[in-house]
Chain A
Amino acid sequence: MLGRTANALFWMFRYLERVDNTARMIDAGLRMALTRDLVTSEEEWRSVIAAAGQRRDYEAAHGSYTGVQAWNFMLREKSNPGSVLATFRMVRDNARQARNVLTSEVWEAVNDSWMQIRDLLAKPVGEKHVGDILGVIRQAGMLVHGAIIGTMPRDEGFHFARAGTFIERADNVARLLDIKYYLLLPSLNYVGSSLDTGQWDSVLRAVSGDRAFRWLNNAQIDARAIVQFLVFDQRFPRSLAYCHTALREHLDAIALIHGKEGDCHALMRAAVQNLDDVGVDGVFERGLHGFLLDFLATNGRVGLAISSDYRFLV
């Protein structure tokens, strides 16, 4: 497979994950805003925009935080290069680059979704429609994932695509956790601190983990349980540990096809081992923020190593 094609598959799925992530964050923000007064709602949207990493662009374009402004910014605004619309266009452009190795089912799932999302986001989104539109966006992601799992041959292209999904997911979840933790618990004093369960509910919702968390944790909500769940729980498909295990499996599958390993494999092994070694107590000992920054840096290094091991770029 061409390095450029592998790159396109990898990024197609990174962008797809990002779209899904943004939609879920807006969803969580909406939910919060519904249950809060105006002042805390403004605070919530500020934190949603920050969690999406779009604060600078947003504040350059807008003087205040309101729901309708915030979700339109995140969904479709031209001044936001990370909007759902712009990011989904990247999904499709990368899919076109890789079109000759995608099954028609995957391509049509992307293309259909793109046409639908483009039309839905052609005009500003009012509060009556925002929920439905988020639903469509999230379904698009599921459709494409279903198509790739159901139809793509398990060659290296499949594994590059899946690697893109998990590396981006790990990145997004870690960032979300970092932003929320930083804002909500600056004292690092987790033992016995009273949690704003509404805020943590919102975090869990933003990773589609609210139901899973309750199932797996008997509804007890505290910082330790949440970190255990979002960072270490191998049963939850968005936990950092799950993402890295899956990423390692796909990289191993690529190594098997190539008959040799690259730098990314060594980095990946170390990253998985490190996560194991630290454990939830270790995270709180050294501080969640510091831990997440390290995790993000490692995740980023793995991404760069994949790109250079497999000659994504000239």
Chain B
Amino acid sequence: MADNATFFDEMHEPGGDVREGYRDYQGWLSDQDADYLKRKSRDAETLFRRIGITFNVYGADEAEERLIPFDMVPRIITAAEWRRLSRGIEQRVRALNAFLHDLYHRQEIIRAGRVPERLFRDNPAWLSHMVGFTPPGGIYTHIVGIDLVRTGPDEFFVLEDNARTPSGVSYMLENRETMMAMFPELFMRVGVESVSNYPRRLARSLAACAPNCATGKPNLAVLTPGIFNSAFFEHAFLAEQMGAELVEGSDLRVEGGRVAMRTTAGYKPVDVIYRRVDDEFLDPLTFNPDSVLGVPGIMDVYRSGGITIANAPGTGIADDKAIYSFMPDIVEFYTGEKPLLPNVETWRCADKESCQYVLDNLAGLVVKEVHGSGGYGMLIGPASSKRELEEFRKKLEAHPENYIAQPTLSLSTCPIFTEKGLAPRHVDLRPFVLVSPDAIDITPGGLTRVAMTKGSLVVNSSQGGGTKDTWVLKD
């Protein structure tokens, strides 16, 4: 892999000086005893295990729960950087919602020839059930996580738009809690924007999208696949923090044109459901008939205005990796502005010439499955052996339309704490955005994912990535 010197170090200038945003932190850090920090680092792990901030690993031993490694060096973003990012994120999220509304209604963007029709026609994320239907408040993506990467002082790129069910927000909150519990004095020295009211903002944002039939304070529920789901901790955490019920499919049924949950005092209607279940499993009458995770008939209730589903079914079409490469056009089409946050350059392998380029340059590219997620089924050219490259080449040649390719990005680094002191590791950033008819609300902070292995560019938790507390500094 390339030498660290070629990557943008978020904490240090090339000469070794500490960048402005990290100065107060560095001031505190240099006062700390190395053994004390080592002890704290071990404490953090114990703390996470006790609280049970774990994720279940698919395919591993029965119900095995693992910790996502937590690194205690914060990732710091200055107020000015954040303002700029926020504007770009807001623009992007606005465009995503407009795009979804258009796709499921008049399809102006296709008529205008800016996005080819074939992209969604055969796309499994496209839901014909949503055609002509407008969700309550006109909102499709109530909760969005935009994955950003940085390559230089002013170079931020959108790597992915998570418009279906972005996860990880509980880590944003618990990482901060852990940092505040471990180093209270640090937060007296450095002014950091709070993230702790995210659950309240989420509850408010969801309530603002309640259907017209909701009377009084809307009933919110978080729909989870259950305790064996990899993100169950987060589902329970958010329900608890919002004061919402944590429901499973078996708790719900359709009754009198509403979706109702089985309480100890009988069935009570749910107004807004924050579902953490994929479209496919949402309604066995409409989608996968074998699903036991969903609610038979919920789509009928939805279409007749009896419930708000967040995020709306069918939003997956907007964060599909094949659509991604059109996002700059999409942003421009709906906002009339140039995109403030650029895309990473992307070759669509469905396109013959692009595919040839990708095949010719495989060793230098990152190739992703169009419908994949979580870092599975992905090729990182520079980190792959000759054999891996050849095997992947065969897959790519057989089904070029299933892949896109991107240059190997020079992801920025942020130091992590190791037994031998600080060491740079690659990071990305997932800010969380709440969308309601009232506002686009971006929590100042987010989830910083970090590749814990030296030189590695894969930050996914399913592949051994860790997380950091993310600080947005106060002005």
Contact = CB atoms under 8 A, between A and B. Distances in A.
A154 to B, nearest CB: 15
A65 interface: no
B188 interface: no
Contacts of A104: 51
B292 to A, nearest CB: 11
A112 to B, nearest CB: 6
B261 A2 contact: yes
A258 B264 CA distance: 9
B52 A3 contact: no
B240 A100 contact: yes
Contacts of B418: none
B338 interface: no
Contacts of B112: none
Given A3-B251, A4-B250, A314-B250, A96 B264 contact: no
B247 interface: yes
Nearest to B246: A100
Given A96-B227, A99-B240, A314-B250, A2 B263 contact: yes
A5 B237 CA distance: 15
Interface string A98-140: 0111001001100110010000000000000000000000000
Nearest to A92: B52
Contacts of A112: 50
A100 B239 contact: yes
Interface string A297-314: 000000000000011001
By secondary structure, the B interface counts as mixed
Contacts of A97: 227
Contacts of A96: 52, 227, 232, 236
A2 B251 contact: yes
Looking at B50, B52, B245, B246, which has the most chain A CB atoms within 10 Å of its CB? B52
A2 B247 contact: yes
A275 B220 CA distance: 45
B394 interface: no
A199 to B, nearest CB: 41
A6 B227 contact: no
B265 interface: yes
Interface size class of B (residues with CB under 8 A): 20 to 34
A314 B49 CA distance: 33
A210 interface: no
B428 interface: no
B442 to A, nearest CB: 26
A26 to B, nearest CB: 26
Nearest to B54: A111
Contacts of A191: none
Contact of B266 (A6, A99, A100, A311): A311
Contacts of B49: 111, 115
A108 B51 contact: yes
Given A93-B227, A108-B50, A112-B50, A1 B240 contact: no
A47 to B, nearest CB: 34
Interface string B209-241: 000000000000000000100001000110110
Interface in B260-311: 261-266
A156 interface: yes
- Give chain A's interface secondary structure class: helix
Interface string A248-279: 00000010001000000000000000000000
A131 B247 CA distance: 41
B248 interface: yes
Nearest to B241: A100
A244 to B, nearest CB: 22
A306 to B, nearest CB: 10
A198 to B, nearest CB: 42
A280 B248 CA distance: 48
Nearest to A99: B236
A111 B50 contact: yes
A93 B49 CA distance: 15
Interface in B187-217: none
Interface in B34-64: 49-52
> Chain B CB within 10 Å — which of A97, A99, A108 has the most?
A99
Interface in B416-450: none
The listed residue with most A CB atoms (<10 A of its CB), out of B247, B248, B262, B264, is B264
B321 to A, nearest CB: 33
B264 A314 contact: no
Interface in A211-268: 254, 258
Given A2-B247, A2-B251, A4-B248, A311 B51 contact: no
A6 B262 CA distance: 11
A163 B66 CA distance: 33
A230 B236 CA distance: 41
Interface of A: 1-6, 93, 96-97, 99-101, 104, 107-108, 111-112, 115, 156, 160, 254, 258, 310-311, 314
Given A4-B262, A108-B51, A111-B50, 13 more contacts: A2-B245, A2-B251, A2-B261, A2-B262, A3-B262, A3-B264, A99-B240, A101-B240, A104-B51, A108-B50, A111-B51, A311-B263, A314-B250
13 contacts: A2-B261, A2-B263, A96-B227, A99-B52, A99-B246, A100-B236, A101-B240, A104-B51, A111-B49, A111-B51, A112-B50, A258-B264, A314-B250
